[in-house]
Structure 1
């Protein structure tokens, strides 16, 4: 495993956001917007999300499991380890200047 995969929260830049802040955007679009803002770039400068991640994110919010299931999706995108919870909470963990 690469060193970047073994980053503790103390060593990383950690950002907490809500996926439901922009009602006019889908959860996937909002995720890309947040990552672009964190990186300080335009959205079209980011790599596209892979289709399987799009489907997981859409399913988590369009037909979520019961609340007691505490569903979540975790993946890496654009240098951030992203954890999405079914209630809309999102955690973005990146290495900051070490990226």
Structure 2
């Protein structure tokens, strides 16, 4: 495994537009602001590593595809059944 202590990850869109930079030595770059349910195909984003001392940057590699999580639907048909010390609440 490579020593990434003095490196940052740099994230690009497939058209070469820089999207984000990671934190030195953390091996993490985040994509944020996507709409729930968005399907991102492998290669829609690419990542490289840049050495913060030499300023040299690696070649880019494709980021694996993923789907942004969906927010759960709101509960429906909520019913309450009182108990001796509170209530049981059911929903669909």
User: Normalized against structure 1, the TM-score is what?
Assistant: 0.22
For CA contacts below 8 A with separation 6 or more, give which structure has more relative contact order.
1
Whichever structure has more strand as a proportion of its residues is 2
Q: Which has the larger radius of gyration?
A: 2
Whichever structure has more helix as a proportion of its residues is 1
User: Normalized against structure 2, the TM-score is what?
Assistant: 0.23
